[in-house]
Structure 1
Amino acid sequence: MTQDINFITKTKALIDNLKSVCANYGLGNDGNEFKIITQVFLYKFLNDKFRFAVKAEKPALDDAENFSKALRDLPEDEYQFLLASLDPNIPRLQPEHLISHLFSKQNDGDFAKLFDDTLRQISIQNADVFSVKSFTGAKDILFDELSQFISDSSQRDAFCKALINKLFEFSFEEMFKQKYDFFATIFEYLIKDYNTDSGGKYAEYYTPHAVARIMAQIMVPEPVKGVKCYDPSAGSGTLLMSIAHQIGEENCTIYSEDISQKSSNMLRLNLVLNNLTHSIPNIIKTNTIAQPYYLESKFDYIVSNPPFKLDFSDFHADLDKEAFKKRFFAGIPNIPKSKKESMSIYLMFIQHIMYSLNDHGKAAIVVPTGFITAQSGIEKKIRERLIDNGWLRGVVSMPSNIFASTGTNVSVLFLDKKADNQHIVLMDASKLGETIKEGKNQRTVLTTTEEDKIISTFNEKQAVEDLSVVISKEEIAAKNYSFSAGQYFEVKIEYTDITTEEFAEKMTGFENRLVDLFQQGNTLDLEIQKQLKGLKYERN
């Protein structure tokens, strides 16, 4: 544990040092700072990952005084064989791509060009594995020409040298055997200053880890292998990382869609940090609702925290295509004359997810709690389909303010194509959690014990007083398809045995109090009448 904290502290210091370099060259809080920090961090991580893997494959190189020179001295065929033997998650680098090589060249002229050229070559040579695709199939580049973000060309060499010096002082190599939670902490710290949507429309960038863990551990209570996991509004990938960790990164392949380039880049970094590089080619930047890349793909597990409200009037007409009729079986929300930004796009995501499950698929979807009791409309049609098809495994209504980004009360729907229709779990966890203050906002945080209670109660299908009910699909249909646990809790009437004398005494007491109340009422009535007469006399 001490070692973990030490690694985290050192890595945070690296991130702070990179931000300091940006600030010193006028890029603090600049729109391009996010690209510089995340891309330089990624370059460092890939550099050290490559070094670590090569040394594991060829231990003799571990003692080399100059690692990049030792690689250059290898015969070409031996070097190519070495690259071919590396795990697919490892980038393919040349000796001149290494940070140690750039560090040795920093006093050469035109260093900024060398720096940019190096990153460009790495991007090209690793495009098949590390590129994010758009709907059309076009691939983005892994790295930008970062020196170009410095408007004063005379400062570019110095800026790139400063970055390389910070990278050279630090190494990830001792960290690569650490567990998932370590890199989750680092990823959060890395993106914390950029964790707002500056143009992308879909997905919160950040889902609380407690919610992500609950979703993953309810969805995957038993070991599975070779499964496909999907998020149609992935954001930075918190939900995908959590379910991949629960399944085992080597046992699953990740697929995602999101309209935001920024969130897609965050997700790519998250996949690299969490040993899921093999899934990067499956990240698609697209409008999932209007231009779904994976329209005819079917998945084993789907997780999603979709945007709840969004103006999608611009592509509303595109959704009425014949090809989408089956997907949007419950309908498409109308375009309001005003407040178009309040259109319930999450209803489109729920229908898309239902369409995207395979024959034994499971899903967990964050929805506004109002969805689970709406009396009519698209919401009701979706709930009817889930119950009539036997796909609802259960619902957990979360505490208010558990999401820092929204004041909306949320619930999590758990779908399962093979659900037990006679033992559906509806849980009201809204009273759980502890309130903490974050800046000016208050947020509810679940304790570890409460997380475990929610997970075990749900997975073991337990009925717990004032927390959960276990009911059949027929009972839900009889209650107008309500998914609210509160509507199924029994009304409790407590009875106390008393004697005839005690009953008579209580009744006498009630009667005496009633007489007193009537007398007080009469006295007040007389006083009011006097006051009114006095007012009338004064007016005359």
Structure 2
Amino acid sequence: MTLDITYTTKTKQLIDNLKSVCANYGLGNDGNEFKIISQVFLYKFLNDKFRYEIKKLKPELGDNKTFNEQLEAMSVGERELLMDLLDENVPRLKPHQLITYLYNIQNTGDFAKTFDDTLRDISVENADVFSIKSSTGAKDKLFDELSNFITDSSQRDAFCKALINKLFEFSFEESFDTYFDEKYDFFKDIFEYLIKDYNSDSGGKYAEYYTPNAVARIIANILVAEDEKGNKKCYDPSVGSGSLLMSLAHKIGEDKCTIYSEDISQKSSTMLRLNLILNNLTHSIPNVIKTNTISQPFYLGKQGFDYIVSNPPFKLDFSDFRDDLEKDSFKERFFAGIPNVPKAKKESMAIYLLFIQHIIHSLNDAGKAAVVVPTGFITAQSGIEKKIRERLVDKGWLRGVVSMPSNIFASTGTNVSVLFIDKQADSEHIVLMDASKLGDPIKEGKNLRTVLSKTEEGDIVEKFNKRQAEKDLSVVVTKEQIKEKNYSFSAGQYFEVNIDYADITADEFGAKMQGFEQKLSDLFSKGNYLDEQISKQLKVLRYE
């Protein structure tokens, strides 16, 4: 993993360098800083991916110092033939659109305009593969005119030069071979590092949560069978950066699955695009939809998915469109009901209950799903929570539940469980697992986070997949047993209670009781003495 660590360190250094450029030109912590850094990061990756793939087709271009000159020296016909040989998911760039070219001409006049024009042309020419759509079908731009974020026009050339210089110092190319062979799962850390400074709402309306790699791997290893065949349709209705989908795709095989996703956040969609590119899933970028999944679902009725994974927002104010969901057109999807608007704290509305119902509705007849839920969901004795649990059990769709350790998420202390749904589940062997005592606590900044070891991850997956009961960890129950427990999904309510008995004689028992009586008598005496002392002290107190 040395290359993984080195690569991640260098990538984080690039991000820091780009942030430094923004700070030097008055954009530190500015609302546009995230756009600049994420878009420049994307441009760098597309540039290096293009160079890497061209060199594979034409090894004689391998000299980095002369790559641009040799590519430009080709005839138009030769270059077009080379472009035709590239995989459809590889960006198409022209010699004058490469970073090396811009680096070499940075001292020419009006460089900021050249920089913006270059990014705009790349965006237009690669829109079919790399653009994200909204629910209306409109495609986003890969790049804004970044120099315009600098209000002082006299500084724009210098700003764009500074960006190009930072990009020129770094290369992704050296890691491509090893990365795509080994499928390093590093981008989740890079995503968190890139976005952390723009995520200050602490769980509020626009905050992001990062699904830990351990949780993502456990979900993928439980959901996907080892002998999975065929092209699978994988979906996340609240995708964020896509870490759950990435683990799922790695388990299935990137060439054996197609990713579909929805999320209301433009920020998340931008990062997901990067994640798909980095994880060799560029072919799925056209399926990334920016929309409100609950009120304006793009894929509803268009797809029945083989796999759905989701770590949805637990609480969010959706009062603006809550009443619209009461219409008949939504009632089939939200079979268990829609949370009411509270008189206070609208932000506490349990929107995750809508996502669970949406997920159940979006599976095909053989579909499987894993959903991260607050642990309180698995035992609630009434309301929408219980109705959903009843539906899963009565229909025979519950495969099992894993309750995770506290603080498995660094950004929230909410206890979480993972709900596993399978439209073809075995109702006689439902696995309920309490993994809350596993893991070791570590400090991450101001937050305490619990980290599972690889051995613990493996134990959870093995016990779950083999349907093994283990004392104080897992139980295997039937559909009828869950009904008898009022549809509780908590493993602890099914554990056997073992009482250890010790044989003692009557004399030994009498001696123990006499000892307890003596201790109790001593405590009463001490209490009486203290009462007397307090009374004496109160009598001598004098008040002015």
Give the TM-score range, shorter chain.
over 0.9
Does the 8 A contact of 2:11 with 2:190 survive in 1? yes
1:212 aligned onto 2:212: no
Name the CA distance, whole Å, in 2 between partners of 1:18 and 1:4. Answer: 21
Superposed counterparts of 1:87-486, under 5 Å: 87-177=87-177, 178=179, 179-196=183-200, 201=205, 204-224=208-228, 225-296=230-301, 297-486=303-492
Partner of 1:507: 510
Native 8 Å contact 1:50 1:90 kept in 2? yes
The residue type equivalent to 1:452 in the other structure is G
Offset of residue 384 of structure 1? 0.4
Q: Within 1, Cα distance between the matches of 2:375 and 2:27?
A: 42
The answer to whether the 8 A contact 1:99-1:168 is kept is yes
Distance 1:163 1:393, change over 3 A: same
> Partners of 2:462 and 2:37 in 1: how far apart?
41
Q: Structure 1 pair 317/514, CA: closer, same or farther in 2 (3 Å)? A: same
Q: 2:232 is matched by which residue type in structure 1? A: V
Q: Is the 8 A contact 1:202 1:306 kept in 2?
A: no
Q: Which structure 2 residue ranges, 5 or more long, are not aligned?
A: none
Q: CA deviation at 1:437?
A: 1.8
**Are the counterparts in 2 of residues 197 and 205 from structure 1 also a CA contact under 8 Å?**
no
The secondary structure found in structure 2 opposite 1:367 is strand
C-alpha distance after superposition, 1:352-382 (max 9, x if no partner): 0000111111111111111100111111100
Number of matched pairs: 534
Deviations 1:281-314 (CA, angstroms, capped at 9, x unpaired): 1111111000000111211111111111111111
Per-residue CA deviations over 1:148-185 (Å, capped at 9, x if unaligned) read 11111011111111111221222221111113324444
Pairwise mapping of residues 33-112 of structure 1 onto structure 2 (< 5 A)?
33-63=33-63, 66-112=66-112
How far, CA to CA, are the matches of 2:65 and 2:533 in structure 1? 105
Moved more, 521-530 or 126-135: 521-530
C-alpha distance in 2 between matches for 1:157 and 1:515 = 89
Q: Distance in 1 between matches of 2:221 and 2:214?
A: 11
**Is the CA contact (8 Å cut-off) linking 1:64 and 1:70 kept in structure 2?**
no
Other-structure match for 1:15: 15
Specify the code of the residue in structure 2 equivalent to 1:344: A
SS of residue paired to 1:316: helix
Q: Are residues 307 and 203 of structure 1, via their aligned partners in 2, closer, same or farther at CA, if it must alter by over 3 Å?
A: farther
Does the 8 Å contact 2:314/2:374 carry over to 1? Answer: yes
* Kept after mapping to 2: 8 A contact 1:201/1:260: no
CA 1:515 to 1:274, structure 2 compared with 1: closer, same or farther past 3 Å? closer
Cα offsets for 1:58-79 (capped at 9, x unmatched): 2232248532232233232332
Contact between 1:200 and 1:259, CA under 8 Å: does it hold in 2? no
Distance 1:289 1:460 in 2: 35
CA distance in 1, matches of 2:205, 2:87: 35
CA distance in 2, matches of 1:529, 1:73: 104
Change beyond 3 A, Cα 1:203–1:475:
farther
How much has 1:522 moved relative to structure 2?
8.5
Give, in whole Å, the separation in 2 of the partners of 1:493 and 1:279.
Answer: 56
Change beyond 3 A, Cα 1:252–1:195 = farther
Work out whether residues 199 and 207 of structure 2, in 8 Å CA contact, stay in contact via their aligned partners in 1: no
Provide the identity percentage. Answer: 71
- Is the contact between residue 228 and residue 299 of structure 1 (CA under 8 Å) also seen in structure 2? yes
SS, match of residue 444 in structure 1:
strand
Q: Which amino acid aligns with 1:209?
A: N
Measured against aligned partners, the alpha-carbon deviations of 1:387-413 in whole angstroms (never above 9, x if no partner) come to 011111110111111112222111110
1:180–1:363 Cα change, 3 Å = same
| Bigger shift: residues 76-85 or 426-435 | 76-85
Matched residue SS, 2:268:
helix
Hey, what's the Cα distance between the residues in 1 that align with 2:526 and 2:79? 104
**CA–CA distance in structure 1, aligned partners of residues 169 and 412 of structure 2:** 40
Gap change, CA 1:515 and 1:404, over 3 Å in 2: closer
Residue type at the aligned position of 1:218: I
- Supply the distance in 2 between the matched residues of 1:279 and 1:343 (Cα, whole angstroms): 32
Deviates more, 1:187-196 or 1:286-295: 187-196
Find the counterpart in structure 2 of residue 489 from structure 1.
495
Partner SS for 1:181 = coil
Note closer, same or farther for the CA distance 1:194–1:249 as it changes in structure 2 (3 Å cut).
Answer: farther
Over 3 Å counting, the alpha-carbon distance change for 1:530 and 1:306 in structure 2 is: closer
Q: 1:388 to 1:258 in 2, by over 3 A?
A: same
Aligned-partner SS, 1:43: helix
- Give me the whole-angstrom Cα distance separating, in 2, the residues matched to 1:22 and 1:534: 69
- After the TM superposition, which of the residue ranges 33-42 and 517-526 deviates more from structure 2? 517-526
Normalised to the residue count of structure 1, the TM-score between the two structures is: 0.93
Q: CA shift at 1:30, angstroms? A: 1.5
Aligned-residue offset at 1:431: 1.1
SS class of match (1:88): coil
- Larger deviation: 175-184 or 136-145? 175-184
Distance 1:185 1:132 in 2: 23
Distance apart, 1:530 and its partner CA: 12
Distance in 2 (CA, whole Å) between partners of 1:237 and 1:308 is 17
Partner Cα separation in structure 2 for residue 523 and residue 192 of structure 1: 58
Distance 1:199 1:156 in 2: 36
Alpha-carbon distance in 1 for matches of 2:412, 2:190: 24
Q: Any stretches of 5+ residues in structure 1 without a counterpart?
A: none
Offset of residue 424 of structure 1 = 0.7
> Cα 1:477–1:77, aligned 2, differ >3 Å: closer, same or farther?
same
Equivalent runs, 1:514-529 vs 2, <5 Å: 514=517, 517=520, 521=524
Task: Quote the RMSD (CA, aligned, Å).
Answer: 2.6
